[in-house]
Amino acid sequence: MFWNNVVLLSAWGVMCWAFGTVLFFSIYLSSAALAGGAGVVLFTVQHNFEHSYASDGRHWDYDTGAIKGTSFLILPRWLNWFTANIGYHHIHHLSAKIPNYCLVSCHNENRHLFSDVTRVRLSHIPRALKYILWDTRSQRIISVAEYRQQMNQARYA
């Protein structure tokens, strides 16, 4: 860790010297903010998608939460590398002790166990971000539109 920090700080020093401190840190912080935002979105869609399982503490089921409460985010191989295999989040929830570099092989070796895991593709992300509300009655994540529909149905029932 020490040498990693030495190399990183040295690279920062060289970049500040070559391009100027203000320019370097402007680009660096903008890039870090964009990468952080993308990370938050990728993490969010791992849990918030249509009919995702959610429950309170008393009724929480560990296995159901891992299988029906997380998704398998299908990413290109290069993006899996950049995200430390975050797409295999369902494996992480079954066992947090599995290191990120073993998630793919674990998934492939046990593929038959994950048929109920929701698959989310990059093109599904905008739709998945609509699911933000926890419906306590049905124990799942729903969209605002679905909530409004439930309220209208209850009003007219």
Q: What percent of the chain has pLDDT over 90?
A: 55
Residue 127 within a domain: yes
User: What local confidence, expressed as pLDDT, does residue 104 receive?
Assistant: 93
Calpha distance 143→43 (Å, rounded): 18
Q: What percent of the chain has pLDDT over 70?
A: 99
Nearest to 116 by CA among 70, 154, 49, 148: 70
Confidence bin at 137 (pLDDT 50/70/90): confident
Residue 87 within a domain: yes
Q: What is the mean pLDDT of residues 38-67?
A: 87
Pull the structure tokens for residue 50: 């249509």
Element (H, E) at 118: strand 118-121
pLDDT digits (tens, 9 = 90+) for 68-112: 889 999 999 999 998 899 899 899 888 989 999 999 999 999 999
Contact present, 117 and 104 (Cβ < 8 Å): no
Q: Domains in the chain: how many in total? A: 1
Residue 77 within a domain: yes
Residue 28 within a domain: no
Q: Could you tell me the residue range of the domain that residue 51 belongs to? A: 43-156
Question: Above 80 in pLDDT, residue 157?
Answer: no
